[in-house]
Structure 1
Amino acid sequence: MVFYYGHPAVLYINKLRVAGVLEDGIDQFFEQLFETGVDEMSWDDLSQGRDDWPPIAAITDYRRKAYQIVKQ
């Protein structure tokens, strides 16, 4: 479930970068980790082999930074 907490903020930042509004992101690791949506196909199961998600506090910090950027 932590994926769904980080994904929306990353989606906004990545879209702003693609649109040329932002030159750089906030955290490249997060922007790669949380960018891809979750499909219900077995080959796209994020829960397999991933038990080292970032701490909630780090994701919350990313979300706050993303909010400040989007708010501008």
Structure 2
Amino acid sequence: MRTTAQRLIEFRRELSNAFGFGEELLNNIVRDAARTLIAAEGLVTRPDVDSETPKRPPLDAPEGVGESKSPA
């Protein structure tokens, strides 16, 4: 079975050969396809922007700050 990366490489090669897209457009299409595959397959990526990074309470925060409470 092919990996997601192998499928994307093959997809990029097919687009390049068949349609002659410019490099920037080709990269944008493949990037969007990669994001779609990742979302559809439930894969995880590392956050690439600060807004996606989980926030931690400051080290000097009182105990319990930032912790979720589970029902008893």
TM-score exceeds 0.5: no
- Where relative contact order (Cα < 8 A, 6+ residues apart) is larger, the structure is 1
TM-score (norm 1): 0.30
Give the number of the structure whose residues are more often helix, by fraction. Answer: 1
TM-score (norm 2): 0.30
Which of 1 and 2 has greater Rg?
2
